[in-house]
Structure 1
Amino acid sequence: MGTDAGLEAQIGQWRGYIQRRQAITAADVDEMEDHLREQVADLAASGLDNEEAFLVAVKRIGSVDAISHEFAREHSDRLWKQLVLVSTAPDDAGERSWHELAVVLGLAVGAGVAVKAGLALIDDEMVLARNLGLLVFPFLAAYFAWKRRLTWRVGVMLLVPAAVLAIVLNVYPFVPDGSTLVLAAVHAPVVLWFLAGLAYVGGRWRSGNRRMDFVRFTGELAIYYTLLALGGSVLIGLTAGVLDLVGIDIEPFLEDWVLPFGAPGALVVAAWLVEAKQNVVENIAPVLTRVFTPITIVMLLGLLVALTSAGGFVDVDRDLLILMDAILVLVLALLLYSISARDVLAPPDLFDRLQLVLVGAALAVDAVMLSAMLARIAEFGFSPNKVAALGLNLLLLVHLAWAAWLTGGFLRGRRPFAALERWQTAYLPVYGAWAAAVVVVFPLVFGFA
């Protein structure tokens, strides 16, 4: 059976929904998908086309699996989903076991203990900063490993790069407060996050559907972590205010215990909440993307006007260029999250056109920034910071330019939305590879300065 973008999109959507049911493990989902694909292949071999084969295969799986029934009930607007629609209520798969809660809380406390120990044992703030991610990563990865039932092979794929990263960060003879040291400290968490993604997808990083699941997870984790941080800040502020009125100063307690345990522990808890409350965030995600996309477009256009009217590119402030890089990364994150929240089979609409405007504005800003960076390099020469910033902007330029091309093709009806989705997930490892190069290679090239 040949490759069919529409079939892959339907299977990806089916898999994504099934994978979010809390009673179904990643291994179970893999087995179900393999079974579905076998059914489709057998039916296609008997003479059915891909769409017909998929309809019949989903019907057969739906007759024996309550998850498919639930999927059809929630998405009953298409024929293949209606085929498995039944009137009986699905089993409640939303209850988290006390066992999982105990594991999550244990890992959250473990992350807090690791950070607290790091604060107590490491006097140098820069050494602590570049090792902070290494202190938290094992506990988040352990949750994914436990949740996904990772094999030893995948475990080795996680441990070896993490160990190499730890050695590089602590053995390299960095110049104190040097540029390569700061760059390594900034990019190390990016490398660790991609390793966490490898654990999240169960070691199957080649699957575009699973990579998009991780994109979705990242956006939802940011939402939950922000909500936890805001809620915790309000609670701590009220408590501190009340105790201050009775003459008790809790600021030392907050600095010594609450923050070291709360910040890393909340990351593990937020990851669990994303897994446990997926349906709630699925309702929030489309709303957030539709609210922030037009706002971001206005912001980018304003920044574009400000940059072009700032005078000579050589005189553009370095801090401004760094801030603009951060804004472009946030724009890319919004684009990825918007794509991950979209129904791949829906026709083009006004929001898709807004997405194209967003990408076009980001491309214009990126082009101006690249001109400014090249002008500064021509005037002042190369440095680790300039090369790192230039490389990131070139990566963003390629990513956004091809995304704009594919979006335009989708709006004109020449390409399926699945092609745009595949491009986004296929390009993501490039950022991880670049971050690893900045950490490992840049210090060697620039003499650890």
Structure 2
Amino acid sequence: MTEHQGLEAQIDHWRWYVLRRQAISAADVDEMEDHLRERIGDLRASGLDDEEAFLVAIKRMGSLDAISREFAREHSDRLWKQLVFVRDDDAAGGGAPPWRELAVVLGLAVGAGVAVKVGLTVLDDGNALLRNVALLVFPFLAAYFAWKRRLTARVGVALAIPFAVLAVVLNAYPFSAGGMTEVLAALHAPVVLWLLAGLAYVGGRWRSDGRRMDFVRFTGELVVYYTLIAIGGGVLVGLTAGVLSLVGIDFEPVLEDWVVPLAVPGALVVAAWLVEAKQSVIENIAPVLTRIFTPLTIVMLLTLLGALATTGGLVEVDRELLILMDAILVLVLSLLLYAISARDSLAPAGFFDGLQLVMIVAALAVDAVMLGAMLARIAEFGFSPNKVAALGLNVLLLVHLAWAAWLLLGFLRGRRPFAELERWQTRYLPVYGVWAAVVVVVFPLVFGFA
């Protein structure tokens, strides 16, 4: 373990625990972490080592006495249990009044829906709408994070510049109608925008491993909440349409022209708010979901390997199958990130960690077969924007998963801390954003906007 990595793991674990408290906002935790780091720095300067400085600093965090006490009770095997037991009553958390935040969220959700509805009206070309739909929704989600995190003007400019560049590229490039580079740009632009949203989410402190992992956790939880909202909304819409049809009213035009354009983007902002407001609830769901879907994913990957082994030559592998396999590998990576973000980084290695290693190895085997198939197709049919984009993504996935497997193996053998695996995930994520930006900005130029 390199210098101070143990300290960073302790701080990340403390931050994870504090964020579970509904009464404390992420912005408050950011401020408290700054104070904690200042105290640790002062104590280290006085001669204490990392662990001693961390323990004493936690003891002196008066505003967190109640939470520290609970933390100690849940981790009674730790030496610093006695250091944080205090007798003060629980303190109430701060933050904006719930009604005010709800009003902001609803206003931004309606704004996102209206923006998409206007886009549907103004952008008659379906391809133009596909390119711009993420650009229409992102400002409202980023605005919520900006309000929640109290972003500085400097961070706001840092977000606005790449957003403006992306908007110009997507609308000024002379894409061929329905061309591959246009479709690739439309598919990869949301990845760039989501990482920009991550910059807003972490309050501009993207260099912090803990805050990047917070964003990974948030992303996974957002998918869960958005799915639940979609299912619930689908049931309500279906019941409403059924009742109206029985009385002779056609609900389909209203559904297509108003409900879907307004509700789908607006629900994203609402889901983000729910994740922020109910963190302790969803964190009880996250470990359950990962434990259910990890073994199922292993079975799926092994089945896919068997199916690929029976297809014969790699050149004969269907193009649509390769695209679907890419989507599956991205899903596997997302599950891995979500599982890591939901795990206690200081807990010892267990059976589930071994199961995750099996999943990663199976995914690596699938990725290797896919890379062979893609290289064979390129050798047979030549280069194209789709092939190069898919090949690049698979190489990135191969590197990501291979090193994750190595770090996880070291953790299972007791040679590496789990914090190293966490840091690898969060530090590699920007690579996907850079690749997505290359696909959006550079590919059209290289391939003549075809």
TM-score, length-scaled by structure 1: 0.96
**1:83 match: secondary structure:** helix
Letter in 1 for 2:32: M
In 2, distance between residues paired with 1:293 and 1:256? 39
For residues 164-175 of structure 1, the aligned pairs below 5 Å read 164-175=165-176
Letter in 1 for 2:230: A
The corresponding residue for 2:36 is 36
C-alpha change, 1:252 and 1:273, in structure 2 (3 Å) is same
Give the C-alpha shift of residue 79 in structure 1: 3.6
The corresponding residue for 2:51 is 51
Letter in 1 for 2:331: L
Give the C-alpha shift of residue 78 in structure 1: 3.1
Are positions 1:307 and 2:338 aligned together?
no
For residues 10-89 of structure 1, the aligned pairs below 5 Å read 10-62=10-62, 65-72=65-72, 75-76=75-76, 78-81=78-81, 83-86=83-86
The corresponding residue for 1:432 is 433
C-alpha change, 1:155 and 1:81, in structure 2 (3 Å) is farther
What are the superposed Cα offsets for residues 377-412 of structure 1, whole Å, 9 maximum, x if unpaired?
000000000000000000000000100111111111
**2:416 match: secondary structure:** coil
Q: Is the 8 A contact 2:24 2:94 kept in 1?
A: no
Q: Is the 8 A contact 1:108 1:264 kept in 2?
A: yes
Deviating more after overlay: 133-142 vs 68-77: 68-77
Q: Is the 8 A contact 1:366 1:393 kept in 2?
A: yes
The corresponding residue for 2:182 is 181
Q: Is the 8 A contact 1:178 1:448 kept in 2?
A: yes
Give the C-alpha shift of residue 245 in structure 1: 1.4
Q: Is the 8 A contact 1:73 1:86 kept in 2?
A: no
What are the superposed Cα offsets for residues 65-106 of structure 1, whole Å, 9 maximum, x if unpaired?
544445445555534355324466524549951011000000
For residues 29-428 of structure 1, the aligned pairs below 5 Å read 29-62=29-62, 65-72=65-72, 75-76=75-76, 78-81=78-81, 83-86=83-86, 90-93=90-93, 97-428=98-429
In 2, distance between residues paired with 1:180 and 1:39? 52
What are the superposed Cα offsets for residues 196-251 of structure 1, whole Å, 9 maximum, x if unpaired?
00100011111111110000000000000000000001111111111211112211
In 2, distance between residues paired with 1:192 and 1:369? 28
Task: List alignment gaps of at least 5 residues for structure 2.
Answer: none
What are the superposed Cα offsets for residues 163-213 of structure 1, whole Å, 9 maximum, x if unpaired?
110100000000111100000010011111011001000111111111100
In 2, distance between residues paired with 1:86 and 1:73? 12
Give the C-alpha shift of residue 48 in structure 1: 2.9
Letter in 2 for 1:447: G
Letter in 1 for 2:30: D
Q: Is the 8 A contact 2:21 2:280 kept in 1?
A: no
In 1, distance between residues paired with 2:167 and 2:63? 50
Q: Is the 8 A contact 2:65 2:86 kept in 1?
A: no
**2:176 match: secondary structure:** coil
In 1, distance between residues paired with 2:402 and 2:267? 36
In 2, distance between residues paired with 1:69 and 1:359? 37
In 2, distance between residues paired with 1:63 and 1:168? 48
**2:449 match: secondary structure:** coil
Deviating more after overlay: 38-47 vs 210-219: 38-47
Give the C-alpha shift of residue 31 in structure 1: 3.1
Task: Give the length in aligned residue pairs.
Answer: 448
In 1, distance between residues paired with 2:35 and 2:91? 22
C-alpha change, 1:273 and 1:81, in structure 2 (3 Å) is farther
**2:80 match: secondary structure:** helix
Q: Is the 8 A contact 1:94 1:276 kept in 2?
A: no
Task: List alignment gaps of at least 5 residues for structure 1.
Answer: none
In 1, distance between residues paired with 2:82 and 2:370? 50
Deviating more after overlay: 146-155 vs 76-85: 76-85
Q: Is the 8 A contact 1:62 1:69 kept in 2?
A: no
**2:60 match: secondary structure:** helix
What are the superposed Cα offsets for residues 111-160 of structure 1, whole Å, 9 maximum, x if unpaired?
01101111111111111011000000000000000000000110011111
In 1, distance between residues paired with 2:113 and 2:60? 48
What are the superposed Cα offsets for residues 283-342 of structure 1, whole Å, 9 maximum, x if unpaired?
000111111001100100010110111111101000000000000000000000111111
In 1, distance between residues paired with 2:203 and 2:400? 26
Deviating more after overlay: 274-283 vs 76-85: 76-85
Deviating more after overlay: 173-182 vs 57-66: 57-66
**2:236 match: secondary structure:** helix
Identical pairs, percent: 78
In 1, distance between residues paired with 2:404 and 2:334? 13
In 2, distance between residues paired with 1:75 and 1:87? 18
C-alpha change, 1:241 and 1:148, in structure 2 (3 Å) is same
C-alpha change, 1:75 and 1:261, in structure 2 (3 Å) is farther
In 2, distance between residues paired with 1:156 and 1:308? 51
Letter in 2 for 1:358: M
TM-score, length-scaled by structure 2: 0.96
C-alpha change, 1:384 and 1:79, in structure 2 (3 Å) is same
RMSD: 1.8
Letter in 2 for 1:28: D
Q: Is the 8 A contact 2:131 2:186 kept in 1?
A: yes
Q: Is the 8 A contact 1:4 1:50 kept in 2?
A: yes
In 1, distance between residues paired with 2:99 and 2:368? 52
In 2, distance between residues paired with 1:102 and 1:78? 43
Q: Is the 8 A contact 1:70 1:90 kept in 2?
A: no
In 2, distance between residues paired with 1:251 and 1:272? 29
Q: Is the 8 A contact 1:113 1:261 kept in 2?
A: yes
**2:175 match: secondary structure:** coil
Letter in 1 for 2:444: P
Give the C-alpha shift of residue 20 in structure 1: 4.8
